[in-house]
A and B are shown apart, each in its own frame.
Chain A
Amino acid sequence: MLAYIVRRLLYAIPILIGVNLITFALFFVVNTPDDMARMQLGVKRVTPEAIEKWKAERGYDKPLFVNPAVSGLSTVTDTIFFQKSARMFAGDFGRAEDGRDIAREIGLRMGPSLAIALPTFLLGLFVTVTFALTLAFFRATAFDFWGVVLCVAMMSISGLFYIIGGQFLIAKMFRLVPISGFGDGLDAWRFLVLPVAIGVISGVGASTRWYRTIFLEEVGKDYVRTARAKGLPETLVFFRHVLKNALIPILTGVVVVIPLLFMGSLLTESFFGIPGLGSYTIDAINAQDFSVVRSMVFIGSVLYIVGLILTDISYTVVDPRIRFE
């Protein structure tokens, strides 16, 4: 088991290097730092001196990969690639356009992101699994049919509609909760109720349908027929056998997103003014703050790879038949 985890971790290293190279190519080779400077300073009437100054302030004035001007190890380290890209492995993300340290900012904003994402994830999982189980229990009835119709309709509605509509109805019309904002400590719950509820509802359609098919697949298996043949009542068949076995693919399927919860949600956070990583990313995109976007791409990839490893481990933990050699 331990050897397996170590091997998976080693396998993650080339992938991370690949991600790093792709982001580097995207940010520095597609466009030269000169183009970025012109973008930030305004396209027209920019003096070459202003561009040079902008580049020097941010350390973009170095060569891309090899710096022949300095000697020793510095030929490789005193370059844009090493300074801006390779150092991300050590958790050094540099500074944003406004001069703040990105790593510190990320640490500060992780909390609010998690405060939204974690309840949404847990509550959403509970609601959808329950709903899907109910639909599967009443399979091939009118209830099941209309339930599926509802799911298809719900997944055809834009996520923006849930947010805009929910905000308008609950916060503006009924004035039950504040429209947006975030508070510290226990007081935060008033700000969290609506985004969490909207997050749960907007995910119901697609996941419920998916889980329902998993349940139905499980219902058709031989051990379920055996359980019924023993004379077990249908409710017991469902809760003791079907639920347990269907939870294996469901839970292992959601493990991959757990680390990504730290990243927060772009839309929800920006609509509700929550100072998390999602709104941080959106602000960076709108301000064309390349170093922040670059850092977020890297962190997102790291978290996704962690999720993949956790998924593989969870398979072996949940299902003893699976052994990775």
Chain B
Amino acid sequence: MTGFQVVVLWSDILVWLLVASGIGLGVLVARSPPLLAAWRRVGASRTGMASATVLFAFIAVGLLDSLHYRVALDGKPGQKVQYGVEVLSVLDALAAPLRTRNEKTYSEPFATRLYAKETMDVPGAGAVRDYPRLKHGGKHLGEREDEVAADAGFTALRGAALAFAVWLGLAGIAAALAGGGTAAVDGPGWQRIWRGDAGFAWDAVLLTLLLMLLIAVPLFWLSGQYHVFGTDKVGQDVLYQVLKSVRTALIIGLVTTLVMLPVAVLLGIVAGYFRGWVDDVIQYLYTVLNSIPGVLLIAAAVLMMQVVIDTHPQWFSTAAERADLRLLALCLILGVTSWTGLCRLLRGETLKLRELEYIQAAQAFGVSSWRIILRHILPNVMHIVIIALVMDFSGLVLAEAVLSYVGIGVDPTMTSFGTMINNARMELGREPVVWWSLAAAFSAMFILVLAANLFADAVRDAFDPRAA
């Protein structure tokens, strides 16, 4: 039994802090009837719930990838235990076959041979130029290389059958849950779900779940025997890279908002509530920051951050820590450039709110300004904050890819959709074309962003008082 040392990266802390604040928000929502009603409307929206299911799957992958540890190296007994330099996560442990079974270079999805010809020594025939056999992809087939389609199809079918069985179990639980509630219509839970009047879009959730299971389970099964999405230039499994990219995308999309939220909310409300010179100063501040084109400000800030990181190598004990800090710095920089929009919205809303009777009544009673802001204004601008939070997410995920392409994104050693695309961009020029890494990165990003966009729409429809 090898020991391990738990490693807590800064971004892990923030990720779990986000989870904690998400749970805290849930408790708050459950206590406040208007918020609960709004979230019920989100729950009743079919597209909203279908996209939320997809997002949950992505978040689960990201969370698994946020528990880090270092494996103890085998040393002599009695010696002080040394730990490996490589920082691994629970996801790495679960996907160990994907992580370790590297090939030499490119290979197509489901291939059994490499992409390029090589000169090999064949006993009896001398030097032969041929496509070498893969070390891991389709190894169990042995000599029967032409049976890949049949073998993969059969495995996929078995996986699909298992997925369906699992789904039936989950659907049963959902039916029991839907039957337990107090809905307007009578009848057993599954009937209500089927008719779509359970009050919660169970039908959409279950359908999405079925679809995801039907894809994920066979994929998981097949990935143990083949490189389902192929391998990249250094022979790493593309599916593994896609899974690792999810955490980076989620951190960029969520932590950035978390970083900028307090500043934007505080300054926006304060500017709108106190007006006068406070308003002038805050307005000046965000106009100045807004005037600098976003990409250029990010570029300048990232360049400067790079210099700081490169001139202080003693700060970081592992490469993962350095990449992690760089990711957080990027979040911070993105936050600095993106808080102005929300701040302006909140300022405008607060200007309107402070003239309303209930605020003026509170002022007449002698309630202190900060208490009014906390008790009366903040809850009434919350819908703007929530809408901004979900609307920003997809934009940030897309921005990460562009920034990494430009060279001002995450650390090159950190797997992200941007670095995947950046590494693969010259591959379309090869002959034959290497399309699989690009296709995998773009499709995964498309699914994530599409789900986020649809969820954001559902949230906006439910929370925006003008839409109702």
Which A positions have Cβ atoms within 8 angstroms of B? Answer: 14-16, 18-19, 22-23, 26-27, 30-31, 35-36, 38-39, 43, 152-153, 155-161, 164, 167-168, 172, 260, 263, 266-267, 270, 281-282, 285-286, 288, 290, 293-294, 296-297, 300-301, 304-305, 308
Contacts and interface: CB of A to CB of B under 8 A. Distances in A.
Interface stretch (B304-312, B320-328, B351-359, B373-381): B304-312
B292 A301 contact: yes
A281 B408 CA distance: 12
B406 A266 contact: yes
Contact of B300 (A27, A35, A161, A167): A27
Interface string B263-306: 00000000000000000000010011111110111011101101
A164 B425 contact: yes
B288 A15 contact: yes
A15 B425 CA distance: 40
16 contacts: A19-B288, A26-B304, A30-B308, A31-B304, A158-B398, A158-B446, A159-B402, A160-B401, A161-B446, A168-B428, A266-B295, A267-B405, A270-B406, A297-B292, A304-B293, A308-B291
A24 to B, nearest CB: 11
B61 interface: no
B296 A18 contact: no
Contacts of A157: 442, 446, 449
B450 interface: yes
A296 B296 contact: yes
B402 A38 contact: no
Given A15-B284, A301-B292, 20 more contacts: A19-B292, A23-B300, A30-B304, A31-B311, A35-B311, A152-B450, A158-B445, A159-B398, A164-B421, A168-B433, A172-B429, A266-B295, A285-B406, A290-B303, A293-B299, A297-B292, A297-B293, A297-B296, A304-B293, A308-B291
Q: Give the 10 A-B CB pairs with smallest separation, nearest first.
A: A18-B288, A300-B293, A156-B450, A156-B449, A301-B291, A31-B307, A297-B296, A30-B304, A168-B428, A304-B291
Contacts of B311: 31, 35, 38-39, 43
B221 to A, nearest CB: 29
Given A161-B442, A301-B291, A281 B296 contact: yes
B394 interface: yes
B83 to A, nearest CB: 27
Contacts of A305: 291
B251 interface: no
Interface residues of B, number: 44
Given A18-B288, A39-B311, A267-B402, A155 B453 contact: yes
Contact of B308 (A35, A156, A164, A308): A35
Contacts of B287: 15
B109 interface: no
Contacts of A260: 293
Contacts of B412: none
Interface of B: 284, 287-293, 295-297, 299-301, 303-304, 306-308, 310-311, 394, 398, 401-402, 405-408, 417, 421, 425, 428-429, 433, 438, 442, 445-446, 449-450, 453-454, 457
A156 B293 contact: no
B310 A43 contact: yes
Nearest to A278: B295
A297 B428 CA distance: 33
A301 B428 CA distance: 37
Nearest to A265: B295
B450 A285 contact: no
Given A43-B311, A297-B297, A158 B291 contact: no
A25 to B, nearest CB: 10
B152 to A, nearest CB: 27
Contact of A285 (B310, B407, B433): B407
A164 B425 CA distance: 8
Nearest to A43: B310
A285 B428 CA distance: 25
B292 A300 contact: yes
A172 B453 contact: no
A158 B401 CA distance: 8
B contact face: mostly helix, strand, loop, or mixed: helix
Nearest to A217: B466
A159 B442 CA distance: 10
B13 to A, nearest CB: 24
Nearest to A159: B402
Contacts of A27: 300, 304
Nearest to B442: A161
B198 to A, nearest CB: 24
A31 B247 CA distance: 30
B385 to A, nearest CB: 21
Nearest to A294: B300
B301 A26 contact: yes
A38 B429 CA distance: 36
B280 to A, nearest CB: 11
Nearest to B447: A156
Given A31-B307, A153-B450, A304-B293, A160 B301 contact: no
A85 to B, nearest CB: 13
B378 to A, nearest CB: 28
B291 A160 contact: no
A22 B292 contact: yes
B364 to A, nearest CB: 31
A14 B402 CA distance: 32
Contacts of A158: 398, 401-402, 417, 421, 442, 445-446, 449
Q: Counting chain A CB atoms within 10 Å of each CB, which of B301, B304, B433 scores highest? A: B304
A279 to B, nearest CB: 11
Contacts of B292: 19, 22-23, 297, 300-301, 304
A203 to B, nearest CB: 13
A22 to B, nearest CB: 7
Contacts of B457: 152
A26 B289 CA distance: 13
B288 A164 contact: no
B300 A26 contact: yes
A21 B421 CA distance: 36
Contacts of A14: 284
A39 B450 contact: no
Contacts of B304: 26-27, 30-31
B402 A160 contact: yes
Q: Counting chain A CB atoms within 10 Å of each CB, which of B288, B290, B311, B407 scores highest? A: B288
Contact of A36 (B307, B442, B454): B307
Contacts of A286: 407
A301 B294 CA distance: 10
Contacts of A153: 450
A46 to B, nearest CB: 11
A285 B303 contact: yes
Contacts of A39: 306-307, 310-311
Nearest to A284: B299
B407 to A, nearest CB: 5
B453 A19 contact: no
Given A18-B288, A31-B307, A159-B402, A164 B293 contact: no
